[in-house]
Amino acid sequence: MRIRTIEDYHEAYKDSIEDPKTFWAAIAQEFRWKKPWTKVLDWSFDDYNVKWFRNGKLNITENCLDRHAENKPNHPALIWEPNDPEDEPEIITYKVLLDRVCRFANVLKKHGVTKGDRVCIYMPMIPELAVAVLACARIGAIHSVIFGGFSAQSISDRINDSQCELVVTTDGAVRGAKNIPMKETVDDALVACPSVKKVIVATHTRTPVSMIKGRDYWWESEVKHVEAECPAEEMDSEDPLFILYTSGSTGKPKGVVHTCGGYMVFTSYTFENVFQYHPGDVFFCTADVGWITGHSYLVYGPLLSGAITVMFEGIPTYPDAGRLWDIVDRHKVNILYTAPTAIRSLMGFGLEYLEGKDLSSLKVLGSVGEPINEEAWHWYNDHIGKGKCPIVDTWWQTETGGIMISPLAGITKTKPSYATLPLPGVQLELVDENGSTIEGNGVNGNLCITYPWPSIIRTTWGDHERCKSTYFSTYPGKYFTGDGCMRDEDGYYRITGRVDDVLNVSGHRIGTAEVENAINSHTGVVESAVVGYPHDVKGQGVHAFVICEEPQDEDSMMKRDILMTVSRIIGPIAKPDKIQIVSGLPKTRSGKIMRRILRKIAEGEYNNLGDTSTLLDPGVVDEIVKGAKEL
C-alpha cells in the first residue's frame, strides 16, 4: 500500500492501469470487512452506474476507531485547538473517541434514528462535530454536514432536499472575534422543515437558547443515560455514507453522495501516500468539516490510518496572523495542509508573525482548494518550509472524494503551480472541445477521467439524472471535471482553471489562471480573479477583479501598471479590458472563487447570480455589483 520511491510510484501506477480491479482489491484487503466482496467492480459511464466491492460488508468506524483502540488505546487520535489561544487544547485518544462515538450513536438510536436515515449536522469545529459524524456512520445513518456559517435558508434547503429527521447543533459558536448563534439559526431554518423530529444541542458558548419540549434535547444530558458500547451496523460497500452539498449553477444545491467501501479505501490510500504519513506524525488540516477536505483529510483519512489529526476551531488571523504558526509550534505539527487563500492572506501580514515561532517540526506542506500561484508557492516554501519541506499541491473535487493529482511528498519532483502526476488508479485524458483525445506532451485540453476510482461520486441525492448530465454528458463515456489542464513536456499536469473560464480573445485561448498569475505578480496586488464577457470586436473581453494592498482611486496609476505587467508577462492580447478594484472576492469557505458569479456580474446579469449561500462572505457580492455598475 505504501509508495516509498519514484520507482514504486511508476510500478504502482502501471499496475493500477493494467489491472485496476486486482490493484484496488489488494489495498482493500488491508481493512476490516464483516463479509468479503463477491465482485470488485461493476461500472458504466454511458448510463452512469458504478459499484465497488460488490456485496462486501463493513462498517467504516470499525476501521477508523475499533482496530486502533484495540492496538493502541492511549494513542492520540484528535487534538482539538480551541478558538481562544488562552483555552486549553484537548487531546482525545482512540479509546476515548470510540467511547464518545458509541455513546452518541446510542443517543441517536434512542431518538429513533435508524440505518439509512439522514442526520443534519450544523456545528462549529469542536470535537463533538467529529463525534457526531462518526456516530452516524456507526449506526448506518447518512450524515449531511452543513458548514457552520450558512444561513437558515441554506440549512432548510439542504434539510428538505434530503429529508433529514434529526439535527445536531450547538447553542452557539465562536470564530475569531465573532459570536455565531447556531441554535437560533437552526430554529429559524426548521420553521420550513417538517421532516425534522428531533434536535440535539451541545453546550459550547453557554448562549441562551430556546428549547422546545419534545423536540430539543441537550447533548450532555442525553449521553449520561446511554452505554459506551454500540455494535457497528453492518453496511454494504455501496450503502451511502454521507451527502455533501455543493453549489449548483441552477441555484439548487447538489447533494453529492459518497458510499462506504470505496470512499474508505481511496481516502486512506491517498492520505498515507500523498503526505507520506508515518506513525506518530501530527497532521494538521485547516479545513472545516463542512467541506469535503474536512471529511476526507481531517476525519476519515487520518483516522482510518491511525493518525494524530489536529482540529482547529478558529481562523488563521485571530488573535493575530501568527495563530497557525503558534499551533504548529505548540503541537509539533509535522504535516500542514491548508488553502492558497490562507497562504496569500498570511503573506500580506509580512514576516513579523513568524518571528519566534519554531516550525522545525514541519516535514510536509500541502495546498488544497485551488491551484496555488507561484508567488504564494515560493513564500510557503521559503518561509514556512525553509526550503526543506516538499509541497504537495493537490487537485481534486467534492465529487472525487479524494486527491486525484498530486506530488507524493519527498518522492515526486515538484514544480511551482503544478499538481504534477495522477495518483495510482486515476486515468486522465485531455480532450479538445469535440471530445477528441489530445495525445503527447506540451499540450492543453479539457481534463477528463476515463475509468472509475473507488471514491467517485455515486449520484446526486434524489436526482440521478442531474449527476449524469452534469458529469457524464459533455464527453460521453468520460467523467468531465469541468477544468482545463496543461500537460507539459515532462508529462506534468497543471490545472488552468474551469473550462468555462478559459478565455477566447480574438481567437486566442487564454487560461484565467495565467492572467491572474500575471496580475498577482504586480507589486501591491493581493489577489485577483479574471472572467470573460461578450465583446463586440474580440468575441470575449477580459474583466479583472483585483484586490490591492492599499485603497485605490478609480483613475489610479495602478490599473495602468497592471495592464503593463500583464502585457509584459503574457502579451498584449491578454490585457484586461476592464479592471475593477474590489475589497474581496466571492469565495467558498474552502477558498474556491465562485467565478460563475463574477462572470454574470461582468455580463451585467446582476439579478441572476444563482446560489450564493456557500460563500464565506455573501455581502462582498453586493459591493462588486455596485462597482461594476459604476465602471
- pLDDT digit string (tens) for 116-142? 999 999 999 999 999 999 999 999 999
Mind listing the pLDDT tens digit for each residue in 170-203?
999 999 998 999 999 999 999 999 999 999 999 9
The side-by-side arrangement of strands in the sheet containing 525-535 is: 525-535, 539-548, 578-582
Mean pLDDT of 449-456: 98
**CB distance 141 to 116 below 8 Å:** yes
Query: For residue 573, is pLDDT > 70?
Result: yes
Domain ranges of the chain: 61-418, 508-630
CA distances from 167 to 183, 288, 313, 552 (A): 10, 18, 20, 46
Query: Which triple of cell numbers denotes residue 162?
Result: 434530503
Distance set, CA 549 to CA 295, 528, 592 (Å): 34, 12, 21
Higher model confidence: residue 518 or residue 286? Answer: 286
Which position has the grid cell 464565506? Answer: 616
Query: In the numeric block, which cell numbers belong to residue 164?
Result: 433529514
Q: 323-327, 425-429, 570-574: which range is least confident on average?
A: 570-574
Domain 61-418 has CATH 3.40.50.12780: yes
Q: Which residues contact 413 (CB under 8 A, 6 or more apart)?
A: 6, 407, 420
What does the pLDDT read at residue 555? 65
Of the candidate ranges 135-149, 200-214, 334-348, the one whose mean pLDDT is the lowest? 334-348
pLDDT at 329 over 80: yes
CATH fold of 508-630 reads GMP Synthetase; Chain A, domain 3 (3.30.300)
What's the DSSP call for residue 60?
A: H
Which amino acid is it at 608? N
Q: 185-199, 212-226, 553-567: lowest mean pLDDT where?
A: 553-567
Q: What is the largest CA-CA distance in the chain?
A: 72
What integer pLDDT is reported at residue 248 of this predicted model?
A: 53
Instruction: Count other Cβ atoms within 10 Å, centred on residue 622.
Output: 11
Contact call for residues 446 and 432 (beta carbons, < 8 A) = yes
pLDDT tens per residue, range 79-93: 999 999 999 999 999
Output phi, psi for 498, to 5 deg: -60, 140
For residues 295 and 301, what is the distance between their CA atoms, to the nearest angstrom? 8
Give percent of the chain above pLDDT 90: 78
**Which stretch of 86-90, 247-251, 313-317, 459-463 has the lowest confidence by average pLDDT?**
247-251
Q: What is the pLDDT of residue 438?
A: 96
pLDDT at 292 over 60: yes
Mean pLDDT of 351-369: 95
Classify 425 as helix, strand or coil. coil
pLDDT-derived band of residue 249, with 50, 70 and 90 as boundaries? very low
58 Rama class: left (phi>0) / alpha (psi -120 to 50) / beta? beta
Confidence of residue 534 (pLDDT cuts 50, 70, 90): confident
- C-alpha cell at position 94: 482512540
Report residue 541 as a C-alpha cell: 473581453
Task: Using DSSP, state whether 471 is helix, strand or coil.
Answer: helix
How sure is the predictor about 247, in pLDDT bands with cuts at 50, 70 and 90?
Answer: low
Angle at 289 between CA 31 and CA 213, to 5 degrees: 110
Amino acid found at 482: G
Q: What is the pLDDT of residue 337?
A: 98
**Residue for grid cell 477508523:** 64
Percentage above 70 pLDDT, the chain: 96
Least confident of 26-30, 245-249, 313-317, 473-477: 245-249
Residue 381, pLDDT > 70, answer yes
Dist. CA 145–CA 463, nearest whole Å:
19
Q: Is the CB of residue 527 less than 8 Å from the CB of residue 547?
A: yes
Q: Distance between CA 418 and CA 373 in Å, rounded?
A: 9
DSSP letters, 476-539, are: TTSEEEEEEEEE-TTS-EEEEEEGGG-EEETTEEE-HHHHHHHHHTSTTEEEEEEEEEEETTTE
Give the DSSP letter string of 225-292: TS-S--PPPPEETTSEEEEEEE--TTSSPEEEEEEHHHHHHHHHHHHHHHTT--TT-EEEE---TTSH
Is the pLDDT at 393 greater than 60? The verdict is yes
Q: Which of 80, 89, 169 is nearest to 124 (CA)?
A: 169
Residue 500: the pLDDT is: 61
371 pLDDT band (50/70/90 cuts)?
confident
Answer with the residue of higher pLDDT: 409 or 617: 409
pLDDT at 554: 65
Contact between residue 410 and residue 392 where contact means Cβ atoms under 8 Å apart: no
Cα separation, 532 vs 574, in Å, equals: 11
Mean pLDDT over residues 239-247, rounded?
A: 91
Sheet of strand 364-367, all strands in order from the earlier edge strand to the far edge: 90-93, 76-81, 308-312, 282-285, 335-338, 364-367, 391-393
Decide if 226 contacts 106 (C-beta within 8 A).
Answer: yes
